[in-house]
Structure 1
Amino acid sequence: MDTSKSTQKTSPIAYSCYHSQNREGEQFAAEHVLSFQISGILTLNNGSKEYIFNPGDFRFIRRNQLIKFIKQPDPNVAFQSISIYLSQQALRDYSIQYNQKTNLIKSPETETVFQLKETSLLKSFMNSLIPYINEDQLINKELQNLKVNEAITILLQCNPELKDILFDFSEPGKIDLEAFMKKNFHFNVQLDRFAYLTGRSLATFKRDFQRIFDNSPSRWLLQKRLQEAYYQIKERGKTPSEVYLEVGFEDLSHFSFAFKKQFGMPPSKI
C-alpha cells in the first residue's frame, strides 16, 4: 500500500507510506525536491550512480532527472518519507521577492542527487510538517506557500552552493543524443520526454536519432533493452522478474513475449 495524504497535484508537500514488500519503479523528477527519510531505506539510481538513503537522511534532487527507485520498508516499520516540491513558479516568485539570482548562464551539470548534512534547521522544518500529515489536516494555500519559502530559505542557508541550481530557470540545452540514449535507454518514458531532455523538439529528436543510429527510436529502444536483458540473465544469472523493470519494460508478460520473438525462446529458458 502506497499512500500520499498530500499529493503534488494539490500540495507541494507529499507523504509516502508503504507497508508491504519492496517497491521498485522509476520517475521523472520534473521539479526540485527536498526530502526526509523517516523510516525504511530508499535506493535511487540515475543511470550512472546509485544513492542509498537511510532513516534520518535528507536529500535534494534537482529537476529534469530520470530516476529509478527501490523503496524498502523495515520488517516492523513502514517505509515513510516526506517531500516538498519546489516548483519553478515558486522559485521565480522567491527570486523576485528576495532578489536571489544566479550569475551563471546555466548551472553546472554536477550531481543530480545530493545527500544533505543534517542540521537543526532542516530537522525542525521537516518535523513541523509531520503533525499535519499524522492528523490528516489539509494545509491551506497560504501555509503551503510559507512552507515552500521556508524550505528555500533553509536550503540557501545550509547549502549555499545550491543557489546556482535553484535559480537556474533555463530549459535543457541540446546535448549529445547518442551518449544520452546509451546511458538512459532503460528508463521507460515517452519519446517526447527523451526529446525534451536532449534539448530537441520531437521531430528533431526523431530525425537526429535516425541519422545517428540508422534506426527509429522505438525499434532501437526495444532491441537495446532486450540485448541488455539477455546479458543480465545469461551472464549475471538474474531472473526475468528481476530484469524486466530494470531494462525498461512495463510488465513481465510483454517482456517475455518480446524476448521470445527476438531470441526464439522465452527468457526463462536462457
Structure 2
Amino acid sequence: MAVLEGDNRSGQILYSCYHTRSRQGEQFIPEHIFGYQLAGTLSMNDGQKEYIFKEGDFRFCKRNHLIKFSKQPPRTGDFKSVSIYLDQETLRNVSLEYGYKAEKHIKGDPVLQLKPTKMYENYMNSLIPYDQIGQFANDHLQALKLKEAILLLLQTNPELRPVLFDFSEPGKIDLEGFMQKNFHFNVELKRFAYLTGRSLATFKRDFEKIFHVTPSRWLQQRRLQEAHYLIKEKGQAPSDVYLEVGFEDLSHFSFAFKKTYGVAPSRV
C-alpha cells in the first residue's frame, strides 16, 4: 500500500508506513482493532507478554488495555500495516441489528494472533483503492467496510463474539497493585484513572491515601528507581531504558535521573 511516512487515518481505518524504527503513540488501546501486517515487524508488549507480528499476520487487539509497541521496517523497504478500529457505536448498531450479545465476560490475552484466511486477505485487499486515493469516498462506504470487518470476524472467529459485544466499562480495582504493575506505561493520568474504575479526581484522592504522594511525583520516582536497577544491575543502556520505564525523551530522563541520583545515567 502506498502511504506517506507516518500514519494516514481515514476515519476508523488507519494505514501506517515508516522508513525507520518507530515507537510512538499513547500506549492505550481505546477500541478493538483488527489489524494486518503488510511489511516489516510489529512488536507489542502488555507488560507480561510480548506479541510479534510479521508480514502476512493478522491480529486482534482488545480495547481498554495498555500496550507498548515498536514498528520495525524490513531490511529493504518500509514498515506497512493497516488497522481497522471497531468503535463502540458501530458495534452497538451491529448488536441491535443482528441481536448479538455478550453472554459472559471474557478476559484472556489483550492481543490475539488470528489464523490467516483467504477471506481476511480479500477484505484487506479491498481497502487498497481507498488507501491509494488517501481517503474513503464517503462516510457511508466506510461504515459498510467496518460492518463487513465485524461480520467477517464473527464468521471466522466466533469466539470473539463475547469480546466484541461486551460494552461494560472497567470496574473499580486495586489501585496499588495496578500501578505497581503498569507504572512503566507512558499514558495520561486520566487513562490510569479510567482503567482502575475511577474518575480522575477520585483516582488522585485514592492514590495519595495509598502512596502519600501525588501520582505524577510517584510515577517519576518509581520509573527512575526501575531505570537505576536496569542500568546498574542489568547493564542496560540509558538510551534503551528511558522508553522502557515510561519517559518520553532521553534528555528529560537524564536530567531527572541526575537530579535524583547525583550522577548521569551514562556514568552509573
Q: CA deviation at 1:151?
A: 0.3
State percent identity of aligned pairs. Answer: 59
> What corresponds to 1:267 in structure 2?
265
TM-score (norm 1): 0.94
Post-superposition Cα deviations, 1:91-116, rounded to whole Å, max 9, x if no partner, equal: 00111111111123xx2221100000
Please tell me whether residue 4 in structure 1 is matched to residue 7 in structure 2.
Answer: yes
Aligned to 1:24: 23
Asked whether the 8 Å contact 2:136–2:142 carries over to 1, the reply is: no
Question: Equivalents in 2 of 1:130, 1:235: separation in Å?
Answer: 48
Q: Deviations over 1:204-247 (max 9, x none)?
A: 21222122223221121111100111111111211111111111
Point out where structure 1 has 5 or more consecutive residues left out of the alignment: none
**2:117 partner letter:** T
> What RMSD over aligned residues (CA atoms) do the two structures have, in Å?
1.4
2-structure distance, mates of 1:150, 1:137: 18
Distance 1:142 1:189 in 2: 33
Select between 205-214 and 33-42 the one with higher mean Cα deviation: 205-214
- Matching residue within 87, 107, 110 for 2:108: 110
CA contact 1:25–1:245 (8 Å) conserved in 2: no
Aligned amino acid, residue 63 of structure 1: R
The corresponding residue for 2:95 is 95
Contact 2:183 2:222 in 1 (8 A): yes
2:232 corresponds to 1:229: no
Q: Select 1:169's aligned residue among 127, 151, 167.
A: 167
1:15 Cα deviation (Å)? 0.5
Cα deviation, residue 2, structure 1: 3.4
Q: Distance in 2 between matches of 1:61 and 1:135?
A: 27
Decide whether the 8 Å contact of 1:48 with 1:183 is kept in 2: no
Alignment partner, residue 70 of structure 1: 70
TM-score by length of 2: 0.95
The correspondence for 1:245, drawn from 239, 243, 246, is 243
Shift in alpha-carbon separation, 1:45–1:236, aligned structure 2, 3 A: same
Give the Cα–Cα distance (whole angstroms) in 1 for the partners of residues 7 and 215 of structure 2.
35
In 2: Cα distance, 1:268 partner to 1:159 partner: 49
How many Å apart are 1:175 and its aligned residue? 1.1
**What are the within-5 Å matches in structure 2 for residues 29-178 of structure 1?**
29-104=29-104, 107-178=105-176
2-structure distance, mates of 1:210, 1:148 = 43
Q: Deviations over 1:106-159 (max 9, x none)?
A: x22211000000111111111111232134353311110110010000100111
**Any conservation in 2 of the 1:19–1:77 contact (CA below 8 Å)?**
yes
2:13 matched residue in structure 1: 13
Alpha-carbon separation, structure 1, partners of 2:232 and 2:7: 39
8 Å contact 2:172–2:197 — kept in the other structure?
Answer: yes
Secondary structure at the aligned position of 2:70 is classed as strand
Choose which of 200, 203, 220 in structure 1 pairs with 2:201. Answer: 203
Distance of 1:132 and 1:247 partners within structure 2: 38
SS in 1 for 2:36: strand
**Distance in structure 2 (CA, Å) of the matches to 1:255 and 1:227:** 12
What residue identity is the alignment partner of 1:242?
A: D
Question: Which secondary structure does the structure 2 equivalent of 1:149 belong to?
Answer: helix
Match of 1:220 in 2: 218
Distance 2:6 2:267 in 1: 38
**Is the CA contact (8 Å cut-off) linking 1:225 and 1:247 kept in structure 2?**
yes
1:19 CA drift (Å): 1.1
Query: What 5-or-longer segments of structure 2 have no aligned partner?
Result: none
Judge conservation of contact 2:28–2:67 (CA < 8 Å) in 1.
yes
